[in-house]
Structure formats: C-alpha cells, structure tokens
Structure 1
Amino acid sequence: MTCVSVIVPLYNKAAFIRRTLDSILAQTMPDLEVVVVDDGSTDGGAAIVDGVDDGRIRLVHQKNQGPGAARNRGLEMAHGDYVAFLDADDEWLPDFLAVTLQHLKQRPDCALCLTGQYRGENRSDWGKTLMALGLTSGQWRLPTELSRDQHKPNLDVLHSGAIVCDRNVIHRFGGFYDKDRCTYGEDIYLWLQVVLNYPIYRDLRPLMWYHTEASDLAVWNQVRPPWPMLLEPEPIRRRCPQPYRPILENILNTYAAIAAYRATTVEDLATANRLFEAFPDARQEMFQDWRKRVDYLIANVPNLRRTLKGFKGDRSQRQS
C-alpha cells in the first residue's frame, strides 16, 4: 500500500498548479500518490495537470461543489495509510512529508502531525508568531482547561496544507464539511473534532509555504461568514468526549463572539443576534472590549453608523 495520499483540490488555479505539483513530486519521501480533484475549473488548470508526466498523479473531475467536497472526493480514492492536503496555490518544502511521517511513526498514538509554515511573498515564519503566543513543538493534547485567548491560536495552527493525518481518523469524523459549497471553515470543522479526541504532534518549523498572495481567502478586509462549526455544532458535540465538553462550549462561544463582531461591522445584526442566541456566552465575551460594545450598539440604531461616518468625513474635509 502507498504510504501517503496527497489530495489537491483544484479550482481555477491554473497559474499555480504546476508549482504545487512540482513541490509534491520533489518530496524526499517518494512513496506517495497524488489525487488532484478538479472542482469544475474553467481556466485550463486540469489540462496542466494532465500534461505532467508522472504515474503517481491521478486527475478526477466533478462539478463545482467547494473545497470540502473536493477533498472528500479525493479521500474516497485515496489508498495511503496517511493522507495530506495541499491547496493548488501552495507548496511544500522538500522534507515536509519525510519529517511529518517520521513523527507519526515514532508516536503511533498521535492522529496527525502538523508543521509551521511560511506565509506570503516575503516568506514570513508563522511559527515564530505562534511560539510568541505560547505554542510549542512536541506532542500535544488539548487540555480540558485553556484560557480564552489561547483558543484560536491553538486551532489556527491546524492549517490543512501543513497536516498529515491517519486516514482512518479522518473517516471516523466523516471528512471535511461539504454542505452548500462551503468555502470557509470547512477544514476546522474536521480538525477540531480530531483534537478533541486524539493527541497530535506539532513541529512548528516552517515546512510548507502558504501563498497568501494567491489565496482567495487571504483578502484580510473581507467579512467572512460564520464558521460551519457554529452553524451545525451538534455532530461535533455528539463526538466530543465528556471531559472535553466544557472546553468545546468555550471554544464555540469564542468563535461565535468573533463571528458576531464581524457581522456587526457590516451591520448584519440578524446574524450577530442569531449567534448570541445560539451561544449565550458569546455576547459577554464580545462585550469585554468596550469598542466592540459601542460598534454593536451603533449598528443597532438604523443609519447611525452611516451618519457618524459621514460626519467624520465632513470634519476631515473641513480640517484639511
């Protein structure tokens, strides 16, 4: 059996897919297969994949259903004991698979291994950022108690392109969230369930390169929708071991507070209030920052935010 199956969801990334495939085929651990799932691309990316002369690559096509569905289709075709996922605009450093697989084979109780990453054209080392927030390399198990400011950093590190996971573990949780062509948070829906149930290994050295400059999700000023784990949390709750249920609720409330504030900034009070209703502690958590409380109150008054913006703009013009 092949040691590792690499799954690449492809959607309109013709400009980058060859670079991604080259980084996979250049791995120092050659016992791999590559399953590229063309998710209804219209830019000729699939033809580029077809033109790569390497028997380890398989290309399959489907109608556009989103990255979760594309990864799940690849999982159905995977033969490896382990699976890894690399988006069609990112790349691995040559030792990524060799290092992660060595960690996993030395620690069979760990469900997955993740690494640090470079980010953007300037190759900033995101691992250093995470270490400054208190994260460390080594075997790690989600504690039953974790301060709220540590919830998001310890989940943000679970970047799909920097993970190698036991294939059976992924199947246990049904793969990635794939409803309604979800394009945001479909991966953390899976990884949260994994860390609630298993220890993992973290090697924060940068062994993959997340090309934020090429990513549709890396437009930092866009307002993203709520994470699927907030919209459909019950499967996660059912699969959560009893000792971890309190921290799961804390994590959900933390993410609900973030999503509610994002909605507030675009005056989407319907979404914010639905999140507060579903996760009652999120309101208090968001309001711990007085500026967010003011933003929420302003957004609740029709047209007041636009009036204040206009007043601020007029005042700036008068001062100039």
Structure 2
Amino acid sequence: MPKVTAMVVSYNHERFISECLASIEQQNFDDLEVICVDDGSSDASPKIAHEFDAMDVMVYEKPNGGPSDAFNYGIERASGDILMMISADDTMLPGSIAARVNALEDPDVDIVCGLPTWIGADSRDLPPSDYPDIFLPFELSPEAMFQRLFFEGNFISAPTIAMRRAIHHETGPFDQRFEQLQDYDYWLRAAALGKKFFCIDRPLVGYRWHGGNLSTSNSERSEAELSEVRKAALQHADQIFLSKVLYESEEMCLQAGLSHEEIASLLMIKHRSQILSNLGRQQLQKLLENNERKEVLRNEFLI
C-alpha cells in the first residue's frame, strides 16, 4: 500500500478548517500523512489546525505567499508516494483517498481526478442552478486533454487531484506567478508533457462555493492571467504534440516544415480570446518577416 500525503492549504479559513481536517482524518486509510500549511492567516485558523496535532496532523505556519507558494511549501515537506491537495474550505467525501489510490494502480495513469459535490458556506449541497456545470467526467488522450483545456478552459476540480510524486517531479512546482490559475497552468503543463489523466466518475470532495473563494472575489485578475497561462503552456509541449493539437495529425506539420513557434502562433490565433488571438498574430507576423516562410504558410494554410 503506497503512502499518501494529503496537503491542506489554509488562509483565513477558521470557519471551515476543522470540518476539512476532520473529513481527512475520517478517510480510514492506513498509511496517511496529513500536512496543513497556514499561509499567513490573520484569524484563528492556525490555532484550530493545531487542535489536530494529537491526530498527527503536521501544521506549518508561514508568511503569506499565495496558494502556489503554500502548496509548493507543503510538497517539499511531504514524504508520501502519492500527493493530494485540498483547500481548507473544502472537504473530502468518504472513500475519497482510497478511490484515487486504486485508480493510480493502473501504470498507464499519471494523474487522477474526480467530480465534486458543490456545497455552500453552511456545508449543505447546493442545487444545480446555483453553480456552473463545469466539472464533468472525461476520457481523453494527452493531446485532446491539452486541446480542451487550452480552448475551453479548466474543467478539472483541483481538490480531487492525486498524482504520484514522480509525476509531480517531472511536471514541476506550481507557478507562483499565478495566484488563481496555478492549477489550470499545472494541468496544461502536465498534458503538454504527455501525462495521462483519468477521471473517476463520482464525487470525491465537497467543493465549497462562497464569497470568499479566490475564484469569485478576483475575477478581473483571473481574466488577466488567462492569456499568460495559455501562452506559457505552449512552450512546454514539443512540435509534434502541438501539431496533433492543432490538426489532430503531425503530417501537415511535417509536410510544411512548420516550426514550434509557428504552430504555437496558429493555436493562439485560433483561440476565441481576442487578447490571445492578437498575441498570436503579432508573434506570427514577426516570424513571417522571412519571405520564404511567409509563402509556405500562405500556400499550405491560407494565411
């Protein structure tokens, strides 16, 4: 049985942290390490977390650095073979850890996720009309995964994720530049590197929807980060991978001799985001200063 590290990140979650930690302690999984990282809370969150010391919850307090910094901090101190991460305002449903560990027994699976049950501040299930229907089951290749993430946005519930430590090492740490979209950036990066996702078609966590969520309180910042995240993600994939994303085939890319930068520009141009599309056009324009390349692209792709 592999050892699991469940990492909880808390920032001013005094209302919810006890429920979160209790839900993890009730998982009935033998080899479980629980790490709670308090990211500079100004409320009673650290004090409440320390009430779980007797149940072997390791609590670390650090200055505020944002979610990416806090998760990276926890991962550096984790000793588990399998890593799971959750915000202190969410909860784990019964059997959540075991279901993910079982799914990771498949050697072809790199990262496991599942579905959430949406809950309110009072921990009651929310009616479907109260939340966006964005977390749905899927079965996708890494290329199709990247394509859907890139063009449609995030559809993976972060607190349902589980991955082997080795996969995290290959994918790298959470990018501290992104305060809200660090998970979206991570999924894009992992897919770009060819990591295989597997979605468990049942709820694994209680995902809390309330006014204090970063995603609901900083929507303007989120929009500003999106183009940067998507543009950066293209640099993690190789030329053949991106050609499969763009054309679902590498043949057209090979026949035309398209470079990595040209394919990345075309993907950005195709995006419905005007900001990203314009960035792609600007990037392609610079590449087309070479008249020979300009003629190739015009003939092959009607640009």
Q: TM-score range by the shorter chain?
A: 0.7 to 0.9
| Cα distance per residue 1:36-87 (max 9 Å; x no partner) | 1111111020011111144431111211110000000001001011100110
Report matched runs for 1:72-221 at 5 Å: 72-105=72-105, 107-121=106-120, 122-124=125-127, 129=133, 136-137=137-138, 140-143=140-143, 151-152=151-152, 156-179=154-177, 182-196=178-192, 197-213=194-210, 215-219=212-216
| Cα distance per residue 1:244-303 (max 9 Å; x no partner) | 224374997399744x5xxxxxxxxxxx4xx4442339xxxxxxxxxxxxxxxxxxxxxx
Deviation at 1:16, TM superposition (A): 0.6
* Inter-partner Cα distance in structure 2 for 1:204 and 1:166: 20
The 1:94–1:142 alpha-carbon spacing in structure 2 relative to 1, beyond 3 Å, is: same
* Inter-partner Cα distance in structure 2 for 1:36 and 1:251: 43
* Inter-partner Cα distance in structure 1 for 2:271 and 2:59: 38
* Inter-partner Cα distance in structure 2 for 1:34 and 1:229: 32
- Could you tell me which of 234, 238, 241 is aligned with 1:237? 234
Counterpart for residue 297 of structure 1: none
The answer (yes or no) to whether the contact 2:265–2:281 under 8 Å persists in 1 is no
* Inter-partner Cα distance in structure 1 for 2:133 and 2:216: 19
Q: In structure 1, the residue corresponding to 2:240 is in which secondary structure?
A: helix
* Inter-partner Cα distance in structure 2 for 1:58 and 1:41: 16
* Inter-partner Cα distance in structure 2 for 1:254 and 1:204: 34
* Inter-partner Cα distance in structure 2 for 1:109 and 1:97: 19
Aligned AA for 2:182? E
* Inter-partner Cα distance in structure 2 for 1:148 and 1:188: 12
Report matched runs for 1:49-64 at 5 Å: 49-64=49-64
The 1:34–1:145 alpha-carbon spacing in structure 2 relative to 1, beyond 3 Å, is: closer
The answer (yes or no) to whether the contact 1:69–1:178 under 8 Å persists in 2 is yes
How many pairs align? Answer: 259
The answer (yes or no) to whether the contact 1:85–1:163 under 8 Å persists in 2 is yes
* Inter-partner Cα distance in structure 2 for 1:137 and 1:250: 28
Deviation at 1:118, TM superposition (A): 1.1
Structure 1 runs of 4+ aligned residues shifted over 6 Å read 145-150
The answer (yes or no) to whether the contact 1:144–1:244 under 8 Å persists in 2 is no
* Inter-partner Cα distance in structure 2 for 1:118 and 1:142: 26
The 1:21–1:256 alpha-carbon spacing in structure 2 relative to 1, beyond 3 Å, is: farther
Percent identical among aligned pairs is 25
Counterpart for residue 261 of structure 2: none
The 1:55–1:252 alpha-carbon spacing in structure 2 relative to 1, beyond 3 Å, is: farther
* Inter-partner Cα distance in structure 2 for 1:70 and 1:11: 10
Deviation at 1:11, TM superposition (A): 0.8
Normalising by structure 1, report the TM-score. 0.69
Counterpart for residue 268 of structure 2: 253
The 1:257–1:79 alpha-carbon spacing in structure 2 relative to 1, beyond 3 Å, is: same
Aligned AA for 2:167? V
The 1:227–1:186 alpha-carbon spacing in structure 2 relative to 1, beyond 3 Å, is: farther
Q: In structure 1, the residue corresponding to 2:104 is in which secondary structure?
A: helix
Task: Structure 2: state its 5+ residue gaps.
Answer: 247-263, 283-303
Counterpart for residue 47 of structure 2: 47
Mean CA deviation greater in 218-227 or 15-24: 218-227
The answer (yes or no) to whether the contact 1:117–1:125 under 8 Å persists in 2 is no
* Inter-partner Cα distance in structure 1 for 2:266 and 2:203: 26
* Inter-partner Cα distance in structure 2 for 1:227 and 1:77: 32
Counterpart for residue 285 of structure 1: none
| Cα distance per residue 1:173-223 (max 9 Å; x no partner) | 2211113xx321011111111122111111121111110126423428943
Mean CA deviation greater in 245-254 or 39-48: 245-254
* Inter-partner Cα distance in structure 2 for 1:186 and 1:175: 10
Deviation at 1:239, TM superposition (A): 2.9
| Cα distance per residue 1:11-36 (max 9 Å; x no partner) | 11111100110111111323211111
The answer (yes or no) to whether the contact 2:143–2:191 under 8 Å persists in 1 is no
CA RMSD of aligned residues (A): 3.5
Normalising by structure 2, report the TM-score. 0.73
